[in-house]
Structure 1
Amino acid sequence: MTPICPITLNNKFRALRDLLKQEATTIGSKKHHHKESVSVETLNKINEKENKKTANNNSQTRTEKVKALAQYTEANKQVKKKHWNRQAERRERATNGREKDAGEENMKI
């Protein structure tokens, strides 16, 4: 008997194997490519900013650099003071609230 379909079993496996090889090559070529999380525009802006910063630092004289550092240090101190003051206020409010609750509890007895 002759088979109805001209493709034999061996040819089917070969065709399937060839398809798998084609799929493997297309998948394999993109296997290690990752999507960029930072765009080219962002990188350009970062590089431009760094270039400006280095140019500014190079153009400053020693006294200008010292003044800039002093301004930064002073601003940093002010930020830290504000932070500590806010924390102290929170602690004070929390302790006042606890004392108030304790006083009310003593009155209930």
Structure 2
Amino acid sequence: MSYLNEFLTFDFKSEHVFEHDLEHDLSKRPQFSTPKIYTVNGNLGKRWYVYFSFRNPKTGKLKRVTPFYGDVNKYKTKEARMEALTIYRKTLIKLLKLGYNPFKDKISQFT
């Protein structure tokens, strides 16, 4: 019976170590967070923008990238701002999926 106990204990430990290694494997982790729209709770007197994080190649951690404002804050209605920000967000998602890296690339490579 002790052999079974040792076997099961060893197997559990090795599986746990394997799972732990997978959790920290950077190639399996997403390179960026999904871009989000910041509306300042609908306040048109404040600046609205799209923001996201990207994995810093030096640290391996997600780092917030400079928010993208575009010209959205010139619009005077919530609907117009949301429409513009939605377009910015969708375009940014496409660029990120194509491999855009804000730490390395220039946007002209993707246009």
Shared topology, TM-score over 0.5?
A: no
Higher strand share: 2
Point out which structure has higher relative CO (alpha carbons under 8 A, 6+ apart).
2
TM-score (norm: length of structure 2): 0.31
Q: Which of these two proteins has the greater Rg computed from alpha carbons?
A: 1
User: Which structure carries more helix by proportion?
Assistant: 1
TM norm structure 1: 0.31
